């Protein structure tokens, strides 16, 4: 890992889960500054004024839940909620959580969370330009700028990211990660090859094995993977 190590606090009342998460964090290059078992202990530790970059809070803890604890905090520390229960996701994001991890936490999923945390910690986010956001798509030998509001979704195929506004148009992005970095919270992940503009969603229904079938404007229906479904529903404000 490059750059300064993230200083993180972990609060988890189950010893096995506490050991597992702290081990994964250290293996990912983080400095775990505190390992605590309940909400009051977190408040007491933070009252000492020690520097910390992020809080990893279990939602179900004695004394104060992770959600209650986050509401009590007067500081602006980024919070990542960790729980075995996906139904808490909506309340977590209402509390402006940086991320929401389901147990058992995997190293791959944790890496995505840490990348999200590093950006505000080490870099100033560039100011967004006023007016509609536009996407460059290829047209002959040149480029055309298309308003994002006209695009329903983006998919990756044949080494190219395609923007869909009734028909697919080739963008200048070569990977979906590039598109996701440029678009930020203007899109939400549907699966490893799909980004969806939330405002284009007009309906959804349950699919097989925890997947979602999402209907977009223009009568387009796409499938959201089981792994992406909880965060996708949370982004739409749904339980």
Q: What is the CATH number of the domain that holds 66?
A: 3.40.50.2300
Rounded-to-integer distance, Cα 193 and Cα 195, Å: 7
Final residue before a domain boundary, out of 72, 95, 122: 122
Indicate whether 131 belongs to any domain.
no
Same domain, yes or no, for 144 and 180? yes
pLDDT digits (tens, 9 = 90+) for 67-95: 777 777 645 578 898 887 665 454 554 45
**Cα–Cα dist 16/228, whole Å:** 26
| 104 and 168 belong to one structural domain | no
| Residue 130, in any domain of the structure | no
Do 118 and 140 lie in one domain? The reply is no
Q: Are residues 105 and 159 in the same domain?
A: no
Tell me, yes or no, whether 214 lies in a domain.
yes
- Do 104 and 205 lie in a common domain? no
226 assigned to some structural domain: yes
Contact 189, 195 (CB under 8 A): yes
Query: Is 141 in the same domain as 225?
Result: yes
Write out residues in the chain with pLDDT < 50, as ranges.
Answer: 1-2, 74, 88, 90, 93-94, 121-131
The residue out of 122, 147, 178 marking a domain boundary is: 122
Q: What is the pLDDT of residue 87?
A: 55
Q: Can you state the angle between helices 107-122 and 15-27, rounded to 10 degrees?
A: 60
Range of the structural domain that residue 208 is part of: 136-235
Q: How far apart are alpha carbons 115 and 96 in whole angstroms?
A: 17
Q: Does residue 218 lie within any of the structural domains?
A: yes
The answer, yes or no, to whether the previous bond of 104 is cis (omega within 30 of 0) is yes
Q: Are strands 79-83 and 54-58 parallel, antiparallel or unpaired?
A: parallel
In a domain, 127, yes or no: no
Please state the domain count of the chain: 2
Q: For residue 185, is it within any domain?
A: yes
Last residue of a domain, one of 122, 149, 172: 122
Paired strand residues for 196: 153, 188
Determine, yes or no, domain membership for 129: no
Are residues 89 and 144 located together in one domain of the fold?
A: no
């Amino acid at each position: 890992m490059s750059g300064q190590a993230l200083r993180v606090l972990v609060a988890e009342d189950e010893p096995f889960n506490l050991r597992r998460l702290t081990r994964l964090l250290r293996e990912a290059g983080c400095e775990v500054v505190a390992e605590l078992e309940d909400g009051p202990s977190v408040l007491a530790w933070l009252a000492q004024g020690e520097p910390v970059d992020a809080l990893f809070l279990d939602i179900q803890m004695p004394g104060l839940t992770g959600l209650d604890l986050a509401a009590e905090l007067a500081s602006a520390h980024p919070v990542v909620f960790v729980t075995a229960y996906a139904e808490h996701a909506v309340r977590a994001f209402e509390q402006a959580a940086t991320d929401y991890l389901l147990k058992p936490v995997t190293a791959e999923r944790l890496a995505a969370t840490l990348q999200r945390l590093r950006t505000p910690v080490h870099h100033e986010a560039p100011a967004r330009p006023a007016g509609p956001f536009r996407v460059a798509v290829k047209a002959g030998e040149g480029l055309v700028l298309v308003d994002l509001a006209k695009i329903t979704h983006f998919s990756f195929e044949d080494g190219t990211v395609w923007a869909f506004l009734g028909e697919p148009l080739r963008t200048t992005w070569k990977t979906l990660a590039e598109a996701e970095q440029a678009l930020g919270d203007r899109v939400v992940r549907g699966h490893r090859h799909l980004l969806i503009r939330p405002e284009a969603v007009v309906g959804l229904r349950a699919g097989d094995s925890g997947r979602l079938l999402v209907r977009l404007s223009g009568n387009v229906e796409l499938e959201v993977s089981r792994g992406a479904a909880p965060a996708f529903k949370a982004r739409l404000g749904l339980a």
